[in-house]
Structures are given as structure tokens and as C-alpha cells.
Amino acid sequence: MQTTQEPQPTAALHTVKDAAQILGISLSAMHKLVRTRQIEYIELGTELKPKRRIHPDVVKAFLQERTVPALGDAA
């Protein structure tokens, strides 16, 4: 069973662009993850001018959830 920890509020938040670079994906792919709510984000700003930020712990968890374990030695 996987337990989730609440993100620490003192960590600097990533912009969507920064999170895309960290994940090694295009900005449009990152926007799709946000739009389809496949990744958690924090919405700041106003309805007319939203600013979305992603907590570093969310980026880390996103990577861990999608990491495929190695099969072992190939020899």
C-alpha cells in the first residue's frame, strides 16, 4: 500500500514550463497532463489569468509512479 505525504509548503513551486523540462517532455505534453488532471497542480491567480504551479514532491511522485523496474542482469 502506497502512502502519500502532504507536500511541504516551504518548497519552491515549479512553473508548468519548469516541470516539463524536469520531466523531459514538451510544454504541450505538460499542459495536456495538467488539463486532463493526470498531474496535480496548484492554481493561483485569477480565472481570467490563471497561474498553475506544480510542487516538486508532485513531480518526484509522478516520476516514481511511472518508473518501470529493471528485470535484473541481462547476462
pLDDT tens-digit profile of 3-61? 566 655 556 999 999 999 999 999 999 999 999 999 999 999 898 998 999 999 999 99
- Which of these, 29, 36, 30, lies nearest to 54 by C-alpha position? 30
Give CA–CA dist 75/72, Å, rounded: 9
Integer Cα distance of 10 and 57 in angstroms = 11
The pTM (predicted TM-score) of the whole model is 0.74
> What's the pLDDT at 1?
46
pLDDT (0 to 100) of residue 47: 85
Q: Where are the domains of the chain?
A: 14-65
